[in-house]
A and B are shown apart, each in its own frame.
Chain A
Amino acid sequence: MTDHDPLRDLWASDQEEKFTMSITDLSARSDRFQSRIKRRNLIEYLAAALVVGVFGWMAFIIPVLSIKIGAVMIMMAAIYISWQLNRVASLSAGDTAGDTLANIHRRELVRQRDALRSVWCWYLLPFVPGIVVFTLGTTMETATDVPIWAVITSSAVSLGFVSAIFVGVWAMNAYAARKLDQEIEALDKVRVIG
Chain B
Amino acid sequence: MKPSQTANTRYHEAADQFAHAMQRLARATEANAERRLDLLQDMHFQLWKSLSAFDCRCSLKTWVYRVIHNVAASHVDRERRRPVMGIDFDELEQMPGLTDLSGLVERDDALARLHAWIRKLKPTDRQIMTLYLEDLSAAEMSEVTGFKPGAIATRISRLKSKLAQDFKEASK
Question: Contact residues of A with B, CB < 8 Å?
Answer: 1-2, 5-14, 16-17, 19-21, 23, 25-27, 29-30, 33, 95-105, 189-192
Contact of A101 with B69 at beta-carbon distance under 8 Å, contacts A1-B132, A6-B98 already known:
yes
Q: How many A-B residue pairs have CB under 8 A?
A: 127
Give Cα A11 to B24, complex, Å: 8
Q: Is the CB of B19 within 8 A of A19?
A: yes
- Residues from chain B with a CB closer than 8 A to the CB of A97 are 46-47, 49-50, 53, 66-67, 70-71
B2: contacting residue among A6, A30, A96, A103, CB under 8 A: A30
Q: Any chain A CB within 8 A of the CB of B148?
A: yes
Q: Is the CB of A98 within 8 A of B54?
A: yes
B residues 11-30 in Cβ contact with A at 8 Å: 11, 15, 19-20, 23-24, 27
A16: contacting residue among B19, B46, B53, B114, CB under 8 A: B19
A1: contacting residue among B8, B70, B99, B156, CB under 8 A: B156
Chosen A-B contacts, 12 in total, with CB atoms closer than 8 Å, are: A1-B137, A1-B138, A6-B98, A14-B20, A29-B41, A29-B45, A95-B50, A97-B50, A98-B53, A100-B145, A101-B123, A105-B123
Question: Contact residues of B with A, CB < 8 Å?
Answer: 2, 8, 11, 15, 19-20, 23-24, 27, 40-42, 44-50, 53-54, 58, 63, 66-67, 69-71, 73, 98-99, 101-102, 107, 110-111, 114, 123-124, 127, 132-135, 137-138, 142-148, 151, 153, 156, 160, 163
- Residues from chain A with a CB closer than 8 A to the CB of B114 are 7, 10-11
A190: contacting residue among B15, B24, B137, B147, CB under 8 A: B147
Shortest 4 CB-CB contacts between residues of A and residues of B: A100-B146, A102-B146, A97-B50, A190-B151
CB distance from A194 to the nearest CB of B (A): 10
Instruction: Report the nearest B residue to A21, measured CB to CB.
Output: B44
Instruction: Report the nearest B residue to A27, measured CB to CB.
Output: B2
CB distance from B25 to the nearest CB of A (A): 10
CB distance from B105 to the nearest CB of A (A): 10
Q: Is the CB of B66 within 8 A of A26?
A: no
Q: Is the CB of A192 within 8 A of B146?
A: yes
- Residues from chain B with a CB closer than 8 A to the CB of A14 are 20, 23-24, 27, 111
Q: Is the CB of A191 within 8 A of B102?
A: no
- Residues from chain B with a CB closer than 8 A to the CB of A7 are 98, 101, 114, 133, 160, 163
Give Cα A13 to B135, complex, Å: 13
- Residues from chain A with a CB closer than 8 A to the CB of B107 are 10, 13
B102: contacting residue among A10, A17, A25, A96, CB under 8 A: A10
Contact of A30 with B23 at beta-carbon distance under 8 Å, contacts A1-B138, A6-B99 already known:
no
B23: contacting residue among A17, A33, A192, CB under 8 A: A17
Q: Is the CB of A33 within 8 A of B146?
A: no
Q: Is the CB of B137 within 8 A of A101?
A: no
Q: Is the CB of A98 within 8 A of B67?
A: yes
